[in-house]
Structure 1
Amino acid sequence: MPRYKLIIEYDGTDFFGWQRQREHISVQEVLEDAIFKFSSERVQVFASGRTDSGVHALGQVASVDLETNYPAFKVREAINFHIRPAKVAVLDVEVVDEEFHARFSATERSYLYRIINRRAHLVLDHKRAWFIPQNLDAEAMNEAAQALVGIHDFSSFRAKDCQAKSPVKSINEISVTRIGEEIRIELSARSFLYHQVRNIAGSLKKVGLGKWTKQDIERVLEAKDRRQAGEMAPAWGLYFVGVKFDPQEGDLAHDPSAGTDATIQ
């Protein structure tokens, strides 16, 4: 039974997240339905990260097993044909070893949070970035963000209903940069807590506005109390960017710091 690795792009605006749900449309559902239409096989597609409602993806990675041995390019073309008009596209497909699993083989996941910082309201980026009209200091935000790099208890940036067994996570890298009117918060880690990135973005906004400093971010981190952090940024500014895999690293399932969330935002 061949296993396929899919690289997927989607606009999360019309979806209630990645994971299939009984009453709401999801990215997983439209992918699995598209696969059924060309293969007549009912399958389960596994993603590297189960993105939340409204969150977008530039390079989501998924894996799926099919009984029929199709060429990889035909799987890509067939899914893209049958998935329309849903705002989902399969960018690439390759046949992989049966040991590969999109979720458990991942060793690093990357997210981007986009802020458009200008006075005029959003038109082209409506529902694709967080609109903040007040001037933000991106350099101060970047300096403060470095307090979050490394292994920490991220309880202050964790959603109340997060199901991860431990709040301890390790952020490998975080940067905040300005490109014209756009401020980009980029993060990478093996896995994230539920709403962790959005809660970090909301707290960094307070730094950008001059209301907080790096010391305040350190204070919030140390508090281990969600009530001490800033607001949760809206889902539509968040993008799942990509995943790294290293077969020498072993399964994520055996990493006690990863919990069971595997990058839920």
Structure 2
Amino acid sequence: MNSEAAPDPGRIALGISYSGQGYEGWQSQPSGRTIQDHLEHALSQFADQPIATLCAGRTDAGVHGLMQVVHFDTPVQREPFSWVRGTNRFLPPDIAVEWAQPVPRSFHARASAIARRYAYVLRESPVRPSVDAGRAGWVFRPLQAEPMREAAAMLLGEHDFSSFRASACQSHTPVKTLHRIDIHRRGAYWRFEFEANAFLHHMIRNIMGCLVLVGQGAQPPSWMRQVLQARSRDAAAPTFSPDGLYFLGPVYEPHWGLPQHSAAYDWLP
């Protein structure tokens, strides 16, 4: 028996940005074509040993991340900047480690998050996206801001969001607390920001489908309350495209000392 004790693993948190185009979402799949697969391969290459990660919130195929947060345990000792630069050497150009920070063993990327934030970027134009294809949703009919804001306000607070829940959702409960929905426009682009304690599978994309119908005048703002109260997926609009959906990242208590902003935020409309 080896009398020398194994080193106690340290816990590292990372902030990750990525384009969801060309990937099968966050969670590892047999194909290896996911963000998690590429990140764990790069970390394992850099650390010269297998590393498994746990994320703050899984994203679907085509959904982008501006500051996904993960944590992992490892006995490997590296400076934070080395985890950033070293791991990025082994990542494809559309995935990057933005920052690294040692955290206590009590920190958990998912369980320690008190809220999660998303943005949806939507292009209103007679012409489909080109340069921004895959990075913005698209509508060709004009939208009106005030009806959408009125409809969005009906979703704030704690509700049963079953009407906006995908059939494959694994959440234990459809009851979530939606803290805010902000809607503003910059030129041809609309930006919808969502913050909640947690989200159901496809919840934002299903809400977006409803907001677009209201914004185009196909439904009145009061329809949103009817959809919510129905607690049935059949009551809501079809699921909207993933192209313009961005995971802005989790929100943590200040005492963890983790970054709340990354450079990837600054280019988003």
Common topology (TM > 0.5): yes
Give the structure with the higher percent helix: 1
Structure-2 separation of matches of 1:212 and 1:24: 42
| CA shift for structure 1 position 247 | 7.8
The answer as to 2:19 corresponding to 1:7 is: no
Tell me the residue number matched to 1:84: 92
The answer as to 2:27 corresponding to 1:25 is: no
Structure-2 separation of matches of 1:169 and 1:149: 10
Tell me the residue number matched to 1:54: 62
Q: Which secondary structure does the structure 1 equivalent of 2:57 belong to?
A: coil
The answer as to 2:239 corresponding to 1:238 is: no
Once the two structures are superposed, residues 88-138 of structure 1 have per-residue CA deviations (whole angstroms, 9 ceiling, x without a partner) of 011111111111111111111000011100112211110111111111112
Q: RMSD across aligned C-alpha pairs, in angstroms? A: 1.4
Tell me the residue number matched to 2:212: 205
AA of the residue aligned to 2:161 = F
Structure-1 separation of matches of 2:17 and 2:49: 23
Q: In the alignment, is the contact (CA less than 8 A) between 1:46 and 1:63 conserved in 2?
A: yes
| CA shift for structure 1 position 67 | 1.3
In structure 1, stretches of 5+ residues that fail to align are 249-265
Q: Which secondary structure does the structure 1 equivalent of 2:214 belong to?
A: helix
AA of the residue aligned to 2:179 = N
Match of 1:101 among 94, 108, 114: 108
| CA shift for structure 1 position 24 | 4.4
Q: Which secondary structure does the structure 2 equivalent of 1:7 belong to?
A: strand
Structure-2 separation of matches of 1:74 and 1:161: 39
The answer as to 2:165 corresponding to 1:158 is: yes
Q: Which secondary structure does the structure 1 equivalent of 2:181 belong to?
A: strand
Q: In the alignment, is the contact (CA less than 8 A) between 1:105 and 1:247 conserved in 2?
A: no
AA of the residue aligned to 2:198 = S
Match of 1:40 among 48, 55, 61: 48
Structure-1 separation of matches of 2:229 and 2:92: 47
Q: Which secondary structure does the structure 2 equivalent of 1:236 belong to?
A: coil
Match of 2:72 among 64, 73, 95: 64
Match of 1:216 among 190, 215, 223: 223
Q: In the alignment, is the contact (CA less than 8 A) between 1:5 and 1:63 conserved in 2?
A: yes
Q: In the alignment, is the contact (CA less than 8 A) between 2:115 and 2:196 conserved in 1?
A: yes
> Structure 1 runs of 4+ off > 6 angstroms?
none
Tell me the residue number matched to 1:130: 137
The answer as to 2:124 corresponding to 1:114 is: no
| CA shift for structure 1 position 244 | 1.0
Structure 1, 220-229 or 15-24: larger mean CA deviation: 15-24
Q: Which secondary structure does the structure 1 equivalent of 2:243 belong to?
A: helix
Structure-1 separation of matches of 2:25 and 2:127: 29
The TM-score, its normalising length taken from structure 1, stands at 0.91
Structure-2 separation of matches of 1:227 and 1:83: 41
Structure-2 separation of matches of 1:164 and 1:90: 28
| CA shift for structure 1 position 23 | 2.2
The answer as to 2:184 corresponding to 1:182 is: no
In structure 2, stretches of 5+ residues that fail to align are 1-8, 256-269
Greater C-alpha Rg: 2
Q: Which secondary structure does the structure 2 equivalent of 1:148 belong to?
A: coil
Q: In the alignment, is the contact (CA less than 8 A) between 1:153 and 1:169 conserved in 2?
A: yes
The TM-score, its normalising length taken from structure 2, stands at 0.89
